[in-house]
Amino acid sequence: MVENVAGVVAELEPEDFYLLSGLEQGMRFSEWVDLEKLPEFAGLSEEETEYRLDRCADRDLVEGKTIQYDGYRLAFEGYDALALHTFAERDTVAGVGAPLGVGKESDVYEVSSYREFALKFHREGYTNFREVMESREYTADRDHVSWLYTARKAAEREHETLEALYPDVSVPRPIDHNRHAIVMEKLPGPELADARLESQQVVGVLDLILREIATAYRVGYVHADLSEYNVAVGEDGVVVFDWPQSVDTDHENADELLDRDVENLVGYFARKYPNETPAVDTDAVAAAIREGTFESVREFAE
């Protein structure tokens, strides 16, 4: 887990953010930014650049390495600081609270504004860079790809998808987006994996989720990574979240990915609730979703 930088951001001065922004600019061209070029990127003198590097390094916001030159780059905490600073300037975020969830591809915190929201920092590529490079389309056309770029593109894709889906599909309402971070509505309840449904609820909840997937398909998107870990169950229904890997329905693999989503979801219900979940033809369910005729899994019981 990357450290929460909210407390550090309050200690930073404008010139520290110039330094962090300069590194961000330089990393567009190289993973490690040459110290000799950094003053130009940051708009600071050489002396000021070195002073600010020391301040930011002491706070674990930047990393240094000697290659053929003295190179520096943003740590993920430094990238977090830039995004959080922007949200504060926009009055999107007034304070950062406790973690809401930590995964290998994101960290989520509770944040305060005019109401409580969730702040999601994307971490794609931070610990599994090769895997993300191979699986995500938004890295395909870049000669130099850093994990900061990968995380930013993941956040952009997710925010774009949430804006397209909400409110037709039950997804977290997007509030704001900057760099690799998204501010959105908090989830209404536990993940499906942690929920314990009553017998009479099982088929109804499964149908609710599949109808949301059907509506998303009608809007033009396939989730492409649907599981019990990205559906929240609340008193008023379900919310489907985590959409950075979504694909458009005209994507060459959209049908295959939809089939997999349906199979994963129905398979989970069958394993956890074997007595309540009817055996169904998942291919037929996916076909009905594509055709816009899906109503209930009971119609496809084998």
Nearest to 215 by CA among 164, 176, 278, 251: 164
Nearest to 206 by CA among 132, 124, 273: 273
CA distance 132 to 147: 9
Nearest to 50 by CA among 58, 79, 77, 80: 58
Helices 254-272/282-291 angle, 10° precision: 130
Catalytic residues: 225
DSSP characters for 158-170? Answer: HHHHHHHHTTTS-
Three-state DSSP at 34 gives strand
CA distance 35 to 75: 16
Residue type, 285: V
Q: Which residues contact 134 (CB under 8 A, 6 or more apart)?
A: none
Bridge partners for 106 per DSSP: 122
Three-state DSSP at 107 gives strand
